[in-house]
Homo-oligomer: A and B are copies of this chain.
Amino acid sequence: MSIGTAAICTVDAVVLSIVNGELKVLLHWRPKQPFEGYWALPGGFIHVDEDADAESTMRRILTDKAGVSGLYLEQLATYSGPDRDPRGWSISIAHLALVPAAELTIDEGKAALVSIDDLPELPFDHGKIIEDAVARLRGKGAYSTLPASFLGKDFTLTEMQSAYEIVLGARVDASSFRRKVLSLGILTDTGRSRQGDNRRPAKVYRLTEAVGTFDRTLGHSAG
C-alpha cells in the first residue's frame, strides 16, 4: 500500500505592515501559471530535500521574494482541498508575518503593499486567508505585543499607541494606554529621547522580550 498522497504541499504568507497609518498586505505578482499575471500571497512549494519544516520553507521564500528575514512569523492555519488549486488536491500551510515597512524590500512590478481594504481579486483562497490573518491580528492585538512588531526595534509610546489603534481599528486613550503598558513591564526604557519639531521629545522604549501575550486588554473592550 502506498503511504504517500498526491497532495500538493505549499506555504503562503500574509505579510502585514503599516504604511501611512493603514494596514497593508504584501502581494506578489505571479509570473507563471496557474493564475499568471495575478497578484497573490507570496508562497511556494515545500522542498523536502532542503527544508527543516514548513516554517523554514516560509522563511526561505520570504527571503527570496521579499528580501526580509528575522521578521515575526507565526503559523496561521492550514487550508486544503481539491478545488483551491487548479493543479489538484492541495495543502497550504498559511503563516502570519508582521514587519516594519522600512524593512521590506519591494521589487517594483514584482511585489506591492496593498491596503487590506482595497484588495484586487485574488486567486486560490487567498482572500479568505488574508481575512483570517487580519482577524487573528485584531483578536490577538488587544492582549499581546503583536502590534509592536510593526515598529522598529526602538519606538516611542505614541508610536506604539498608534500601531495599536490601527490594529484594533479604534481610538485608544493615551493615559490608559501608558498606564497599562508601563505597568505590564513589557517595555524597557532606553534612556534616550526622540526629538520632534516644536514639541516635547518623547522617551524611546524597546520591547523587554519578544512578542508575548498578557492577560489584561488594551484599548476598548467590547461587550
Q: Is the CB of A48 within 8 A of B78?
A: no
Q: Is the CB of B75 within 8 A of A54?
A: no
Asked whether any CB of chain B lies closer than 8 Å to the CB of A81, the reply is yes
Asked whether any CB of chain B lies closer than 8 Å to the CB of A4, the reply is yes
Q: Is the CB of A91 within 8 A of B9?
A: yes
Whole-angstrom CA separation of A88 from B46 in the bound complex: 14
Looking across the interface, which residue of chain B has its beta carbon closest to that of A6?
B48
Looking across the interface, which residue of chain B has its beta carbon closest to that of A3?
B87
Q: Using Cβ atoms and an 8 Å threshold, which residues of chain B touch A217?
A: 215
Contact of A82 among B52, B80, B93 (CB under 8 A): B52
Whole-angstrom CA separation of A7 from B87 in the bound complex: 16
> Whole-angstrom distance from the CB of A94 to the nearest CB of chain B?
9
Whole-angstrom CA separation of A54 from B4 in the bound complex: 15
Looking across the interface, which residue of chain B has its beta carbon closest to that of A92?
B78
Asked whether any CB of chain B lies closer than 8 Å to the CB of A53, the reply is yes
Contact flags A148-188 to B (C-beta < 8 A → 1, else 0):
00000000000000000000000000000000000000000
Whole-angstrom CA separation of A91 from B49 in the bound complex: 14
Q: Using Cβ atoms and an 8 Å threshold, which residues of chain B touch A81?
A: 52-53
Instruction: Give the dominant DSSP class at A's interface.
Output: loop
> Whole-angstrom distance from the CB of A69 to the nearest CB of chain B?
20
Asked whether any CB of chain B lies closer than 8 Å to the CB of A124, the reply is no
Whole-angstrom CA separation of A78 from B94 in the bound complex: 10
Q: Is the CB of A89 within 8 A of B7?
A: no
Contact of A45 among B5, B8, B48, B82 (CB under 8 A): B5
Q: Are A93 and B75 also in contact (CB < 8 A) when A7-B9, A7-B46, A223-B216 are?
A: no
A-B contacts, 15 of them at CB < 8 A, read A4-B9, A5-B8, A5-B9, A7-B9, A7-B46, A7-B48, A46-B89, A48-B82, A52-B81, A53-B79, A53-B81, A54-B91, A80-B93, A215-B217, A215-B222
Q: Lowest 9 CB-CB distances: which A-B pairs, in order? A: A48-B89, A53-B81, A54-B80, A5-B9, A78-B78, A7-B9, A53-B80, A215-B223, A215-B222
